[in-house]
Structure 1
Amino acid sequence: MTKIIDATGKACPMPVIMAKKEIEANHDSFIITVDNAIAVENLKKLAVSQSYDAVVSGSGERFEVRFITDGREIPETEMIVLPDSSATIWGTGKWVVFMGKDYIGEGDYELGSALVKMFFYTLSQADDVPESILFMNSGVKLPTLDEQVVSHLQALEDRGVKILVCGTCLDYYKLKGDLKLGEISNMYDITEKMFAASKVIAL
């Protein structure tokens, strides 16, 4: 019986992450149900990248995307094996994320706030995670006031990612007592992390 995964009502990138987990489990065939055309296109791209065929049916508010492979064993270079909860913490890369504000991009703040939540969730599910995440200016509102982001940061910290939060910025916004995780840091330590990194992603 083909497994059906219900991803209706779930915002990007959740449907892709759910499908990716099925691929990582080496399932030859499964179906993802979604409720928007953008998710369908993202799932089709994932299927192609993982050597699956994607057969789409439905329209409007319900689509079914069937992932099918010819039964061949997926090469190890294409597979990402997730450890179970008892496994050793995954490694971290020699790169850092710099958050200088509490949203992503420019334009609508509400959209930018939703995007930052999606970003940290996606990052928490990735195999290659940063060595450090650095928060400055209004970015310090994320590890203090945003419970959803805090939960994703906790998952990253549990995997060895260092969370550094600007102490001066916390004082400015009167949030030092609200810090949920990570360590209070300073400009010197934060810039040292940036200089030592192989790349810095600033959002």
Structure 2
Amino acid sequence: MSKNIDARGKNCPMPVIMAKKEIEQGGKFFTVQVDNKIAVENLRKFANSQGYEVSIEQANGDFNVKFSNGCEECEEILAKVENRKPLENWCVFVNKNTIGVGDEELGQSLMKMFLYTISESSSYPKSILFMNDGVKVPTLNKQAIEHLKKLEEIGVELLVCGACLNFYGLQEKLSVGKVSNMYEIVEVMKSAAKVITL
């Protein structure tokens, strides 16, 4: 993430010294705010001498001198990948809209909490499979859907039975996951080291 350094009101060479300190601390992407053109030119020369690209924006009489060394978007993506927890060779089979037998509202709440717990755990399943009444989770359970979206972003495969969606008339309400079929779901189960059925 780009850092902002406020050097307005500081005489040269202070803005350059502040930029130098940021580079020495490993900063690759940062902006130095200054309020005069002399500081802008000095920062431009310094950036070039350090192998940084520089761009300048003027706003309300001040100048934003942006330093960059590489691809900021790539760095952010790489950081996410490096911090990603591992997917493990197990899957979850969801064949009901609830967990357990009894009160339906409690069962739906338990489903939401189960998915939240999985999304916050130290490792993740390779896949979550939804069939029969279970297809109501990625279509109607709004809070569960938020947890599922997080899991999908992490890389967990979410497969939702297309025939089941058609049966319940929920084709247009699928908010997360991929429409799948019996063959694909069975193949995922066969290849998993273990299957947890809710």
TM-score, length of structure 1 as denominator length: 0.57
Number of residue pairs matched by the alignment? 119
- Which residue in 2 is equivalent to 1:110? 105
- Which residue in 2 is equivalent to 1:96? 91
Cα deviation for residue 137 of structure 1 reads: 0.5
Structure 2 counterpart of 1:119, from 102, 110, 114? 114
Asked if the contact 1:91/1:160 (under 8 Å) is kept, the reply is no
Cα deviation for residue 178 of structure 1 reads: 0.8
Cα deviation for residue 87 of structure 1 reads: 2.9
Structure 1 counterpart of 2:177, from 165, 173, 182? 182
Runs of at least 5 residues in structure 2 that lack an aligned partner in the other structure: 1-77
Give the Cα–Cα distance (whole angstroms) in 1 for the partners of residues 104 and 80 of structure 2: 39
Structure 2 matches for 1:2-17, cutoff 5 A?
A: none
Name the % identity.
50
Give the Cα–Cα distance (whole angstroms) in 1 for the partners of residues 173 and 103 of structure 2: 26
> For 2:125, what is the secondary structure of its paired residue?
coil
Structural RMSD (CA): 1.2
Cα deviation for residue 112 of structure 1 reads: 0.8
- Which residue in 1 is equivalent to 2:36? none
Give the Cα–Cα distance (whole angstroms) in 2 for the partners of residues 147 and 193 of structure 1: 26
Give the Cα–Cα distance (whole angstroms) in 1 for the partners of residues 144 and 112 of structure 2: 6
- Which residue in 2 is equivalent to 1:87? 80
Give the Cα–Cα distance (whole angstroms) in 2 for the partners of residues 202 and 196 of structure 1: 15
Structure 2 counterpart of 1:148, from 125, 143, 146? 143
- Structure 1 counterpart of 2:100, one-letter code: G
- Which residue in 2 is equivalent to 1:58? none
Select the structure of larger CA radius of gyration: 2
For residues 35-86 of structure 1, the C-alpha deviation after alignment (integer angstroms, 9 at most, x for no partner) is xxxxxxxxxxxxxxxxxxxxxxxxxxxxxxxxxxxxxxxxxxxxxxxxxx94
Which runs of structure 1 show a deviation greater than 3 angstroms over 4 or more consecutive aligned residues? none
For residues 93-122 of structure 1, the C-alpha deviation after alignment (integer angstroms, 9 at most, x for no partner) is 000000000000111111111111110000
- Which residue in 1 is equivalent to 2:155? 160
Instruction: Determine which structure has the larger helix proportion and give its number.
Output: 2
For residues 5-62 of structure 1, the C-alpha deviation after alignment (integer angstroms, 9 at most, x for no partner) is xxxxxxxxxxxxxxxxxxxxxxxxxxxxxxxxxxxxxxxxxxxxxxxxxxxxxxxxxx
Give the Cα–Cα distance (whole angstroms) in 1 for the partners of residues 105 and 179 of structure 2: 27
Asked if the contact 1:103/1:116 (under 8 Å) is kept, the reply is yes
> For 2:107, what is the secondary structure of its paired residue?
helix
Structure 2 matches for 1:54-73, cutoff 5 A?
A: none
